[in-house]
Amino acid sequence: MKLLGISGSLRGNSLNTAILRSVAAKLPADTVLDIFPLNGIPPYDGDLDTDTPPPAVAALRAAIGAADGLVIATPEYNHGMSGVLKNALDWASRHYGAATLIGKPVLTLSASMMGTGGARAQAQLNETLTAITARLVLRPQIVVMAAHEKVRDGILEDTATLDFILAGIGDLALEIRARAVPA
């Protein structure tokens, strides 16, 4: 099973990226999670949204299309998901009706230093994915509060949080398998 991880934070020491990397290291042997960095995704511009989009956008859409499912992690900036993540989803949502995100199983999570754990950002993210008609895996939501106390040296050390996310990955896997077309 091939999963694609997307972090809404670009900084090198991002807690959300660290969580994705930590999850990737603990997956079952039949599952891989590759992270697609959003650093190269340009601002969405309808005039560039042609049949030959910017190369990073084409790569993002192709990576989403090639994945069995997605794991998207977002920080919370100003009561919402990061503009960086929303911008990437705006690109990924196109062209209308033909986006590789349509019907794609997606597990979302948010992580923040705050006690709210980015819950507002995650609510926006889920709403946006619903608008795109991705297929949300809505298990008890993964909201990682005080994330800076759970991540050390780029590793998610809090085993309860890690296990909770891995259970979410399990639900994502069930959703993927339920939708797989028999060969």
Cα–Cα distance for residue pair 3/161, rounded to 1 Å: 19
Stretch that binds its own copies, among 7-15, 19-27, 138-146, 172-180 (CB under 8 A): 7-15
Establish if 50 lies at the interface with its own copies (CB under 8 A): no
CA torsion 57→76→133→26, rounded to 10°? 80
Whichever of 1 and 56 has its CB closer to its own copies, that residue is 56
Among 59, 63, 90, 136, binds its own copies (CB under 8 A): 90
Q: Which residues have C-beta within 8 Å of that of residue 133, sequence separation ≥ 6?
A: 101, 102, 103
- Among 21-29, 103-111, 125-133, 157-165, the segment contacting its own copies (CB under 8 A): 125-133
| Contacts of 95 by beta carbon, 8 Å cutoff, 6+ apart | 49
Q: What residues make contact with its own copies under the rule CB under 8 A?
A: 9-12, 14, 38-39, 41, 43-47, 77-90, 93, 120, 124, 127-128, 130-132
